[in-house]
Amino acid sequence: MSVLAVAQDVTEVTDLREKVRVLESLVDRSDLPKPHTNNAMSVEAAAEYYRAIVESSDDAIISKTPEGLVTSWNPAAQTIFGYSCDEMLGKSLLVLLPPEKSDEERFILERIQAGETVEHFETTRIHKDGHRVDVSVTTSPIRDRRGHVIGASKIARDITAQKMAERQLKLTASVFTSTIEGILITDRKGTIVDINDAFSRITGYCKEEVVGQDARMFRSSNQGPEVFRFIKMALRELGEWRGEVWSRRKDGKSYSVILTISSVRDSYGNVQNYVALFSDITPLKLQQEKLEHSAQFDSLTDLPNRLLLSDRLHQAMAMCQRQNQSLAVLYLDLDGFKYINDNYGHDVGDALLISVSNRMRLALRDVDTLARIGGDEFVAVLANIDSTHDCIQLVERVLGACAEPVHIQGRELKVTASIGVTIYPQDDAEADQLMRHADQAMFEAKQNGKNRIYLFDSALDAEVKTRSLQQERIALALLRQEFVLHYQPKVNMRTGAVVGAEALIRWDHPERGLLAPGVFLPAIEEHPLSETVGSWVIDMALKQMVEWKLLGLSLPVSVNISARQFQQQNFVNHLSEALANYPEIDAKSLELEILETSALEDIGSATKIMQDCHRLGVLFAIDDFGTGYSSLTYLRRLPVETLKIDQSFVRDMLDDSDDLAIVKGVIGLASAFHKHVIAEGVESVANGKKLIELGCYLAQGYAIARPMSGSRIPEWSATWEPPAQWTQAL
């Protein structure tokens, strides 16, 4: 019999003489400890001995009647369950049972009454304060000398901490097994000691193949050894490292991961293991590369786009400065492409662009960059140019590649190219200006018959060799009245209404013919002549409006204002005087178009000037909106009525998703800030239809009308009708 049973036998007897009798009978039991003397232990001493054992036990030692009422309750029971001996004596142990275990005590009693022992029964009990206690219980019957069951003893051991540790270990094991992140554990020397299932799924290696191997077996050649040196240094100094690395699967393929490596130290601070946790981010990396590619390359031809071109041009210019070399910038426009695109459809046009761009790419060298910047316009940067002669030879190869026939859908199609060229550092300009110079030269190539090359340095007349000479010639042209205004109508594409016209200056040059403003205005951009020419344009536009009014046509006119003219101190006074000279004209019929960059050079000054002009009744539009860097704050502050979407975005929006996104954005901004929006550069019916669908109804462009003399506007306005695709678009 156990010591507990002995003590409980004594506890069950209430009469002192009977207790002594029971204890005397117990002393003779062979299963009780015997005193280490020759004299028999007294009953009182034995009782005290066993009581001390019960009282000092860390386990709850409880005895109860066959009916389940508590008859003894040691200090450990109070510690474990919270109830004192006085609170529990004569009470049922049911108070300790959770609701879901209400039948458990009855089951145990039935076993005890049958004389059976319930050993190491793990269960849950309720502490006095309400929290749950995990216990391991052994319940045994207490018998008298005749073998009758006179009660039961319980030993309850608190295993809450053990159970919590088991649950924690189980959770940890579950996380280790179930997590989607790969886990690799090594010893302090980097030898693999364990992996989880996700590791095998990601890498293709099973546990038997990697345990015992060096973790360096997964290194990929996609990164250099300096990465691993940095990891080692971080682990040594910080105890952890996190970052992106490339690894290698069992099949040899590289893959990208987000990797976290942590040191595991013992109680003395010594590294015992390293734990590596990683996630396969290869799909994200591939998507990132795809997005980066789409941000820098044209979606149709896979050539660099405007953004990447600008970066490469700046790099090439820096290289030229370091190595004392030259480079050439080519601006190329395909002759005849619009006819093919309009008559055979965009699919044929796209196929033609792809074919021609591939031929141009083959005609250039590996060090050169060919970019598509929109529609049928391309720019090339030719590096390491030794001489103008060598440059021209290379450009002629490109010209010839463009002129070769292209076979598409059973048709033989042919285009040519007009190429403008400028050479740096002979043309010592900034990158953007170099492209504008090449663009101007390209325009000259078209004006001179197309399918040819034109050098920017020779784009000017023989007598115009310096900017000073250009300015003198422009001043003379003003005196000789060689400048004329043409007007490009603005319409509501949905209703067909003619809502205005933009005044565009032209130079009717006696030798060179009709010149576009891009040819001569840059020469006076920072010269007082720009103010004189600007005032002339306003005056001629007002005069033309009077002539139209006499013919019964009241048509608002917009005039482009240069930054210098707009910012001159007496601009508002000059404008007021001009309006006073034509009292027949309502000032609201005059709209001033300023470039986005001009308005933002000095936002405070620009706002004041515009407010002063508003008091005169004049309206404002921001021209080429979207090409600058204006913020929403500036847009909110500037008192403008209209935003003009730059033609470079409108022209290519059907083919270029980036341009389409910009167009949508400008339309959305205009709507959000309650401003009108008009698109310039509408060159096809399809472009107009798309704009209507996007909510932009006002437009101008070649699909509506080319700029024309003021005398032709009344007749055109009376006869113009929009395409049916526009009026039926919504």
Model pLDDT, residue 35: 46
Mean pLDDT value of segment 687-711: 95
Per-residue pLDDT of 309-340, as tens digits, reads: 999 999 999 999 888 899 999 999 999 898 89
Which of residues 530 and 291 earns the better pLDDT score?
530
Q: Is residue 692 part of a domain?
A: yes
Mean pLDDT value of segment 221-250: 80
Helix (H, G, I), strand (E, B) or coil at 408: strand
Model pLDDT, residue 629: 52
Model pLDDT, residue 265: 87
Model pLDDT, residue 102: 73
CB burial string 403-434: b at 16+ within 10 A, e below: eeebebeeeebebbbbbbbbbbeebebebeeb
Which of residues 349 and 146 earns the better pLDDT score?
349
- pLDDT exceeds cutoff 70 at 598: no
- pLDDT exceeds cutoff 90 at 25: no
On whether both 321 and 273 belong to a single domain, the answer is no
On whether both 157 and 30 belong to a single domain, the answer is yes
Helix (H, G, I), strand (E, B) or coil at 405: coil
- pLDDT exceeds cutoff 80 at 22: no
Model pLDDT, residue 630: 54
Mean pLDDT comparison of 117-121, 292-296, 567-571, 700-704, highest-scoring range: 700-704
Q: What is the pTM of this model?
A: 0.41
Q: Which of 262, 286, 310 is the last residue of a domain?
A: 286
Mean pLDDT value of segment 653-660: 91
Mean pLDDT value of segment 256-277: 86
Give the CA count within 13 Å in the CB-facing half-sphere of 644. 25
On whether both 348 and 252 belong to a single domain, the answer is no
- Round the average pLDDT of the chain to a whole number and report it: 84
- pLDDT exceeds cutoff 90 at 595: no
Q: Which amino acid is at 186?
A: T
Q: Which of 131, 161, 191 is the last residue of a domain?
A: 161
DSSP class per residue in 168-205? HHHHHHHHHHH-SSEEEEEETTSBEEEE-HHHHHHH--
Model pLDDT, residue 585: 94
Which of residues 105 and 161 earns the better pLDDT score?
161
Mean pLDDT value of segment 341-349: 90
Residue 417: CATH number of its domain:
3.30.70.270
Q: Which amino acid is at 283?
A: P
Residue 277: CATH number of its domain:
3.30.450.20
On whether both 157 and 34 belong to a single domain, the answer is yes
Q: Do the bridges between strand 132-143 and strand 149-158 make them parallel or antiparallel, or are there none, so unpaired? A: antiparallel
- pLDDT exceeds cutoff 80 at 177: no
Mean pLDDT value of segment 179-187: 84
Residue 673: CATH number of its domain:
3.20.20.450
Q: Is residue 468 part of a domain?
A: no
453 near 395, Cβ under 8 Å? yes
Which of residues 115 and 614 earns the better pLDDT score?
614
Mean pLDDT value of segment 360-380: 92
On whether both 311 and 418 belong to a single domain, the answer is yes
On whether both 446 and 379 belong to a single domain, the answer is yes
Helix (H, G, I), strand (E, B) or coil at 407: strand
Rounded distance, CA 383 to CA 424, Å? 10
Mean pLDDT value of segment 247-266: 84
Q: Is residue 473 part of a domain?
A: no
Band (pLDDT 50/70/90 cuts) for residue 626 is: low
Distances (CA, A) of 339 to 334, 349, 373, 414, 421: 11, 9, 20, 11, 25
577 near 520, Cβ under 8 Å? no
Band (pLDDT 50/70/90 cuts) for residue 483 is: very high
On whether both 445 and 500 belong to a single domain, the answer is no
Query: What percent of the chain is predicted at pLDDT more than 90?
Result: 41
Residue-number span of the structural domain to which 702 is assigned: 490-504+530-727
Band (pLDDT 50/70/90 cuts) for residue 9 is: very low
Mean pLDDT value of segment 368-389: 91
Model pLDDT, residue 152: 84
Mean pLDDT value of segment 705-725: 94
Band (pLDDT 50/70/90 cuts) for residue 468 is: confident
On whether both 263 and 317 belong to a single domain, the answer is no
Model pLDDT, residue 224: 63
Query: 132: closest CA among 81, 58, 61?
Result: 81
- pLDDT exceeds cutoff 80 at 658: yes
698 near 679, Cβ under 8 Å? yes
Mean pLDDT value of segment 623-637: 67
Mean pLDDT value of segment 345-356: 92
Model pLDDT, residue 6: 41
Q: Is residue 515 part of a domain?
A: no
Which of residues 655 and 16 earns the better pLDDT score?
655
- pLDDT exceeds cutoff 90 at 228: no
Rounded distance, CA 135 to CA 154, Å? 11
DSSP class per residue in 505-535? EEEEETTTEEE-HHHHGGGGTTSTHHHHHHH
Query: What percent of the chain is predicted at pLDDT more than 70?
Result: 88
- pLDDT exceeds cutoff 50 at 462: no
Q: Which of 116, 132, 161 is the last residue of a domain?
A: 161
Q: Is residue 20 part of a domain?
A: yes
Model pLDDT, residue 37: 45
On whether both 336 and 243 belong to a single domain, the answer is no
Q: Is residue 518 part of a domain?
A: no
Which of residues 222 and 428 earns the better pLDDT score?
428
Lowest mean pLDDT among 109-118, 546-555, 706-715: 109-118
On whether both 152 and 227 belong to a single domain, the answer is no
First to last CA, the chain: 99
Model pLDDT, residue 477: 92
- pLDDT exceeds cutoff 80 at 21: no
On whether both 596 and 574 belong to a single domain, the answer is yes
On whether both 263 and 309 belong to a single domain, the answer is no
678 near 718, Cβ under 8 Å? no
Band (pLDDT 50/70/90 cuts) for residue 701 is: very high
Band (pLDDT 50/70/90 cuts) for residue 628 is: low
How many other CB atoms sit within 10 Å of the CB of residue 220? 17
Q: Is residue 243 part of a domain?
A: yes
Tokens 């539009």 appear where?
621
Domain count along the chain: 4
DSSP class per residue in 484-499? EEEEEEEEETTT--EE
- pLDDT exceeds cutoff 90 at 723: yes
How many other CB atoms sit within 10 Å of the CB of residue 106? 12
Query: 460: closest CA among 435, 447, 441, 442?
Result: 441
Q: Is residue 414 part of a domain?
A: yes
Per-residue pLDDT of 398-445, as tens digits, reads: 999 999 999 998 889 999 999 999 999 888 889 998 998 899 889 888
Q: Fill in the DSSP letter of residue 243.
A: E
Q: Which amino acid is at 127?
A: H
